Structure 1
Amino acid sequence: MLRYFLVALIAGLLSVGGAFAQKTVVSGVVKDAFTKETIPFANVFFNGTQTGTQANMDGLFTMSTSASYSALKFVYMGYETKIVPIAVGKSQRIEVLLTPSAKALKEIVVTKKNKAKYSNKDNPAVELIRQVIHHKDQNRIKELNTVSYRKYEKMTFSMDNISDKFKNNKLLKNYQFLFQEQDSSKFGGKYVLPVYIEEKLTDNFYRKNPAASKSIILGEKQAEFDQRYVDNKGLQSYFKRMYEDIDIYANNISIISNDFLSPIAGTAPTFYKYFITDTVKNAEPKLVELSFFARNKGDMLFNGKLYITMDGKYAVKKAKLSIDKDINLNFVRGMDIDLDFDADENQRYNLTKSRLVVDFGLNKEKGFGFVGDRTVSYKDYAINTTLPDSVFVEKKATATEPKAVLQSDAFWEKNRLDTISEDQLSIYKNIDSLQHVRSFRRTMKYATLLIAGYQNLGGYDMGPFNTFYSFNNVEGLRLRVGGRTTSELSKSWYFENYAAYGFKDEKWKYYLSGAYAFNHKSVYTFPKHYIKASFQRDTKIPGQELQFVQEDNVLLSFKRGVNDMLLYNDFYKVEYLKEFENHFSYGLQLKRWTQNPAGGLYYQTASGDFIDKLITSEVGLNLRYAPHEKFYQGKQYRTRFVNKYPIFNLGYSVGLKDVFSGEYNYHNLKASVDKRFYLSQLGYTDVKLEGSYTFGQLPFPLLNIHRANQTYAYQPYSYNLMNFLEFVSDHSAGLFLDHSFNGFFLNKIPLIKALKLREVVSVKALFGGLRDENNPYTANNNTFKFPLYENGQLRTYSLGAAPYLEGSVGLGNIFKVLRVDLVKRFNYLNHPEVSSWGVRTFVKFDF
């Protein structure tokens, strides 16, 4: 997440424009004149206009303008309208006291002893929302037999709170062409200037039975950065993940990688309070304004208003949603959602416009920040008409017209379903111009070095720099240097290399690979399609499998316990990989592997002979399917945007005896599935199931060595209190459960809730064992003995009838980036050099 934030930060810093006129800024609070209690959701307008805002649940509001308005008008049902003068061109804070109207005073009975408490029972507002919930299925688009419509999306990312001091900074002297006077747009009383834009026009089709949906992209356009430094498609996917389509009728609304409970979800009356605040009698049909807000300010809930039709359909005509400032959401200062529905000829209300605006910043109240604004317009609905079968012939959910990314300006002028300002259009040109500024290219190089660890040298990326220095007990101090070629050198041929040297073992390690890309695209980016040959001579810790980091990362050199078992490996590989646009992929691999034990690791037969090396030859097939997968492509890894869809992996490999000196015949089968389950207000659970089975009689180095972790970093899919090579199996099954409550409990505890902490729990279970033929301690078994410590104690074991169990409880979101877990190992505690408790940390940038 830091990568995305910094990329956006750099783009914003170098793409801002416009100096500001002197503004009038008014903030304040609206209260009842008699009780002095705050009035939630009061309407605030510049007097004589329809330009305004709405106070939040606490009666707080902020307004600003560059125009010369001299008064504000405050309107709220049951209170007298009030006009308050303001000072033009100055910042000011006011307290506004509204007087209840005479009619309201006659209807209110105030007693000292009986203070009314909010209750769902006999509450007309709750009865109304229950009617909306009861009728929501018939108002959802997915309940129609068929529907088609055109959709236009516009996404802008902007920088706000720009000062003249920033504009005139001498570091930006080469970018003054960007600082031109522009029209400003408002969000929460702040002025913003756009620095990124993307647009998309699609035709969409849906059929209920048999279920099918299709989106055809007619036009697609975005402001693009230099692809050597920024994955533009990944950036687009990231914004799409943050700003998903909003379905008010769904139980949960996904925004900024979090699920918010909809105010018309089945369980919504348990978490929301509702009030009937107005009726719109001159509308046809009559509308009721229903205000709602979260019972607990820290939960992932909305505040706002719904306008409900009173025609027996109880449909949503309009919705205005926002969030509380105390919500447990990182870097978000505010959020506004506006949804508009219009009736068709059958008096069915279809979504015609959706706008989501999010204000981001490190400081919750003020200071430099960014604003993301996504507006979606819908038009040309066709309901329950016959759709041609040809629409759904191709099973892909999304298809792209051949000229979609090449559409002319004339096409966009004709087909946009919404207005677009000249300032927004200028961003396309500005971003393109930036790529030709030498200092900007230099800045992007440094940013890539800092974030991704690579330095572009023109056709060759040197790195990753975090692997240049490391150490361990066998190699001692280890220095490494290397890199890889890029598409600047060739769009078809790619090479990668490194050399490393250990000062304790006095051995050189190296790697060299060459790949040919059949699609003439980078072999590191989606969709991959290449054949690659490689040779690697290097060390590896048996059983260490890290997620998203290099094994010789210097930070992982610090390990607990005894860590002296190492392999010197020689790998000869030929690999073929083919990825498809639907995110199915298959890979074929031919591998010759020579492994030499080192340090405390040794290979000894049952007869007592020591073996200095083990050679295997292997052919493998790997299948992967990740439907609807989205990710940001980095230099080293793809950073996946986790969603509700599962990921399936299946691998099969065959050992070939007497082929390239291979010493064993065997078959190995592995499978896994990963999925995230969203549980609304209770957070989400990440689940991973995996299993493996090895056929044949084999020594322990060729069996399944279970993933262990002796570093102090928390590894989600490793066993954090298991020692390296502590357990091996020829058949096994593993379960990983990691649940985040997103602060559901801590947000309700006074004082602690201000820390914005999030509770996490995890459970890991490993089932497995060894057949007699692979257990060196059964009779007449000639496989390798398990290694021993120097004191004669056993280092490696097979699992018994009981599974290995491990669990943890932790706190996430510490300083917004850190997770700390207290890990507990529940069994197999009689093994030497193990701990039943441990503390592990995990750095994670998230909203």
Structure 2
Amino acid sequence: MRIRLFPILFLIAGLCVAQTKVSGIVVDEVGEPVAFANVIFPNSTLGTITNDNGRFYLESDTRYNSILVSFIGYQTLEVPLPAAVNYDLTIVLLEGEQLDEVVVYSGKQSKKNNPAIDILRKIWAKKRINGLRKFKQYEYDKYEKIEFDLNTIDSALINSRMFRGLEFIFADLDTSRITGKTYLPIFLNEVFSKVYGNNLIPKEREDVLGNRNSGFSNNQAITAFVQDLYSDYDVYANYLKFFDKSFTSPLSRTGIDVYNYVLTDSAFIDNKWCYHIIYYPRRKNELTFKGDFWVNDSTYALKKINLQVTKSANINWVKEIYIEQDFEVVNDSVFLLKRDYMLSDFALNKKESSKGIYGKRTTVYDHYIFDNLRPDEFYRTATDPYDPRVFQQDSTFWNRSRLESLNKDETGIYTLLDTLKTVPKFKTYYNLVSILGSGYVEIDKWNLDIGDIYSTFGYNDAEGIRLRGGARTFFGQNDPWRLEGYMAYGFLDRKFKHGFSAKFLLDRKSRLIISGGNRRDIEQLGLSLTATNDVLGRSVASSSVLTVGNNDRLSNINLSTLNLEAEPLKNFRIRFGGSFRTLSSALPEAFNLDYVDPDSPTGISSEVKQFDLTTSLIFTPGKRTIGYGVERRDVNDEYATLFLNYTRGLEGFLESDFNYTRYQFSYTQPWQIGGFGRLLSTVEMGKTVGTVPLSLLNVIPGNQTLFTLYNTFPNLDFYEFVTDTYVALHLEQNFNGRFFSRIPVIRDWNLREIVGIRGAWGQLSEENIALNSPANIPLNAPSDKIYWEYSLGVGNIFKIFRLDFNFRGNYLENPEARPFSVTGTFGFHF
């Protein structure tokens, strides 16, 4: 009985919260949906635009008796609303002219004669002098809440086996004012901070004074995902980045090439005369929005704007993205951001009935203070957002600091999650999701994680089938120390392998970390030119089940390391350490590491013992992390990485065999190329001074696996090119479907084009060739000409697969050279 009465109870609750709710579909005379039609409440600025399928939802706290529906080329229609709640209306628009007093232009009209575009050009001219940029210094309070909700909840879901025993969680449901769908809050994070900025330096400082979390507060992976999901954006920018995609802003200078703009109305808002402009995309499948904005007639500053991603946009797992921003009038010439709201609807598909999860962020700004001069050092001083006091603020603090009160459902999240954590079935679901996300099985009573599960099975020519099991300590996401280890067994060589590491955070402020460990294993060396001595690091090629050609150039490695690392400046790390390695071939008959050794009875040695001292400088400007323990988690991937490494090999110390010096540098930078997608670039260079054996030289990284691995050359075999001096360049451009979206036959497949080009040049000295002459592989370097390859790839196949077709540019005369290869990868990407 409770379930049958639920829709009625829900309707009554809706009547109490909002005075007017209306949803439906807009069609033309033959029943075809009308996308991007304008739906508003009369004599108001409250409205929406129909989606790609002609559907809409609109609500208001005020009681309205009708709605106005209009679109270019159709008669404007006023639809009566007989009740406060009117769902599933079918509205038929008739062809004809718009109302005389509303001036509209279609996107195909000349841009010179469109008043909406004339206004847009004035926005461009004024945007740099609006808002906070008008003042020398500024301060304000900032309150942010991020919420996740289960959505599209119906009686079938409530009665499903999945929620049997959890029915109590559906006692309080609400309706989204954006989509009209029911939802259940499951996660809430609140942050209150004070922001101080100086436009003259320019510098900005944010002091986090309170941080409160419900739901999965101890799961660092989920928290990091939330942080990355809702990075800051500026609607005045040419491109807005969401989910690793660059969407063209409707206020962009390139907007007139991808949007239609229509000037529909003008009215007073907060005693300011404003123009109302509607925009919608010219083409399907592009990363664009639809929506509207109100702009002041004198300052050309935004008063409010709505942005909604079209369903045809080439983005996975996201059914809706809705953004609204409201601006406050400070005086005749200053409009400041007052409230920023963003809703994302995550679902497996974009059908109207599909169930998913809402992600919502609300940010409210208030108490602005201007031109309050503070010392320059004040703005340069970073505060600690992880101070324990920040997470221990009481209810009095939050009642005073919230710039927007929590509603009933948001208030109940804290109680709901405390209850759910005691329910065994919910804990099972949570553990399953956590395992799939992190790769580790949590054993709370032992403070251990078992895994990672994705490394359990492997295969290579030396070990045959390989099984691996490991564990790590885990008391919490901010552990000051961590122990980790694994054991593996090869069924062909019948040998056990192991690895062990320990890390200790000695000082949190400077992030002084001491680490070390030992690994004895079989490894495919030469997969990276500038690899670091991660004692537990292991390449995909070392255990790859699928390879091309003979994958027999494997090495035995016994590596011990001890490192000291500090971060004296944000995102600038210094690492100093020592390592001792013993290297030998894992399959001597097929691949040896022999070198000339006058001290050996045979004049030849096949094993290297080497002690190295290493100093590394790592700079990652723009990198954001979460947590303050010995292991932090990245929350963004658009930062550059500059790596400078100096290695000194010491002969004689701990029976080390060789003296040498190595200099290495690498620079990796992702570039958002506006509407053309994302370019990933890497430059690497290095030089080894001294004479060393093959196992210590720099191998141009080939790739004989069937997996697409960035920074490798898929048409090179392992050890095909060996150098002591090298320069390499990798470029990979993902166009995110920009060109496929213009091809009618395949545009609905949402495929993405990926183009790559890479090259390497290197030398190998006569002394190194002579030292390594006993080796049974040819020692060649790409010194005569730059070795290069290019690839053409298709991504987003069935939303998860990517295929790359790789072509070798030269050195085709090399023995068994592979002129062509196909590699692939899979993963879940937006």
TM-score normalised according to structure 2 size: 0.87
3-state DSSP class of the match of 2:235?
coil
Amino acid at match of 2:674: S
Amino acid at match of 1:573: T
Percent of residue pairs bearing the same amino acid type: 25
Give the CA RMSD over aligned residues: 3.7
Name the residue aligned to 1:27. 24
Match of 1:392 among 379, 392, 406: 379
Match of 1:250 among 237, 240, 246: 237
Change (3 A) 1:784 1:766: same
CA displacement at 1:640 relative to structure 2: 4.5
Match of 1:820 among 793, 803, 806: 803
Match of 1:420 among 394, 406, 424: 406
Amino acid at match of 1:602: N
Q: For residues 772 and 137 of structure 2, what CA distance do their matches in structure 1 show? A: 65
- What does 1:267-306 align with in structure 2 at a 5 Å threshold? 267-280=254-267, 284-306=271-293
Q: For residues 103 and 258 of structure 2, what CA distance do their matches in structure 1 show? A: 29
CA displacement at 1:575 relative to structure 2: 2.6
Name the residue aligned to 1:7. none
Q: For residues 228 and 787 of structure 2, what CA distance do their matches in structure 1 show? A: 37
Q: 2:711 aligned with 1:717, yes or no?
A: yes
Q: For residues 210 and 732 of structure 2, what CA distance do their matches in structure 1 show? A: 40
Q: 2:440 aligned with 1:444, yes or no?
A: no
Once the two structures are superposed, residues 458-506 of structure 1 have per-residue CA deviations (whole angstroms, 9 ceiling, x without a partner) of 2333322333332222222333333233338996664333333333323
CA displacement at 1:105 relative to structure 2: 10
CA displacement at 1:263 relative to structure 2: 1.7
Name the residue aligned to 2:3. none
Match of 2:593 among 590, 600, 603: 603
CA displacement at 1:740 relative to structure 2: 0.9
Match of 1:476 among 464, 479, 486: 464
Q: For residues 207 and 684 of structure 1, what CA distance do their matches in structure 2 show? A: 32
Q: For residues 737 and 39 of structure 2, what CA distance do their matches in structure 1 show? A: 32
Gaps of 5+ in 1: 1-17, 110-114, 521-525, 789-793
Name the residue aligned to 1:6. none
CA displacement at 1:682 relative to structure 2: 0.9
Amino acid at match of 2:751: L
3-state DSSP class of the match of 1:441?
helix
Name the residue aligned to 1:127. 118
CA displacement at 1:346 relative to structure 2: 4.8
Deviates more, 1:264-273 or 1:77-86: 77-86
Q: For residues 59 and 330 of structure 2, what CA distance do their matches in structure 1 show? A: 37
Q: 2:91 aligned with 1:95, yes or no?
A: yes
Deviates more, 1:457-466 or 1:78-87: 78-87
Change (3 A) 1:141 1:710: same
Change (3 A) 1:659 1:66: same
Match of 2:555 among 538, 549, 567: 567
Gaps of 5+ in 2: 1-5, 12-20
Amino acid at match of 1:601: F
Q: For residues 267 and 736 of structure 1, what CA distance do their matches in structure 2 show? A: 29
Q: 2:67 aligned with 1:73, yes or no?
A: yes
Match of 2:395 among 409, 415, 423: 409
Once the two structures are superposed, residues 228-259 of structure 1 have per-residue CA deviations (whole angstroms, 9 ceiling, x without a partner) of xx21xx53443233223332221222223222
Change (3 A) 1:58 1:422: closer
Amino acid at match of 1:475: E
- Tell whether the 8 Å contact from 1:786 to 1:795 is kept in structure 2 after alignment: no
Once the two structures are superposed, residues 647-667 of structure 1 have per-residue CA deviations (whole angstroms, 9 ceiling, x without a partner) of 222221111111000011111
- What does 1:319-334 align with in structure 2 at a 5 Å threshold? 319-334=305-320
Once the two structures are superposed, residues 422-466 of structure 1 have per-residue CA deviations (whole angstroms, 9 ceiling, x without a partner) of 211221232233333334334433444444333334233332233
Amino acid at match of 1:765: G
3-state DSSP class of the match of 1:615?
strand
Deviates more, 1:488-497 or 1:295-304: 488-497
- Tell whether the 8 Å contact from 1:541 to 1:565 is kept in structure 2 after alignment: yes
Name the residue aligned to 1:671. 665
Name the residue aligned to 2:579. 591
Q: For residues 267 and 571 of structure 1, what CA distance do their matches in structure 2 show? A: 54
Name the residue aligned to 2:440. 454
Name the residue aligned to 1:199. 190
- Tell whether the 8 Å contact from 1:466 to 1:554 is kept in structure 2 after alignment: no
Deviates more, 1:697-706 or 1:470-479: 470-479
Deviates more, 1:398-407 or 1:560-569: 398-407
Q: For residues 85 and 490 of structure 1, what CA distance do their matches in structure 2 show? A: 55
TM-score normalised according to structure 1 size: 0.86
- What does 1:545-694 align with in structure 2 at a 5 Å threshold? 545=528, 550-551=538-539, 556-579=544-567, 582-599=570-587, 600-605=590-595, 609-630=603-624, 640-694=634-688
CA displacement at 1:339 relative to structure 2: 1.3
Change (3 A) 1:137 1:85: closer
Change (3 A) 1:829 1:489: closer
Change (3 A) 1:243 1:453: closer
Q: For residues 555 and 543 of structure 1, what CA distance do their matches in structure 2 show? A: 14
Match of 1:216 among 179, 202, 207: 207
Q: For residues 503 and 272 of structure 2, what CA distance do their matches in structure 1 show? A: 66
Change (3 A) 1:69 1:209: closer
Name the residue aligned to 2:814. 831
Deviates more, 1:18-27 or 1:290-299: 18-27
Change (3 A) 1:99 1:760: closer
- Tell whether the 8 Å contact from 2:49 to 2:291 is kept in structure 1 after alignment: no
CA displacement at 1:373 relative to structure 2: 1.4
Name the residue aligned to 1:348. 334
Match of 1:43 among 39, 43, 46: 39
3-state DSSP class of the match of 1:411?
helix
Match of 2:763 among 766, 769, 773: 769
Q: For residues 669 and 85 of structure 2, what CA distance do their matches in structure 1 show? A: 54
3-state DSSP class of the match of 1:179?
helix
Q: For residues 431 and 102 of structure 2, what CA distance do their matches in structure 1 show? A: 70
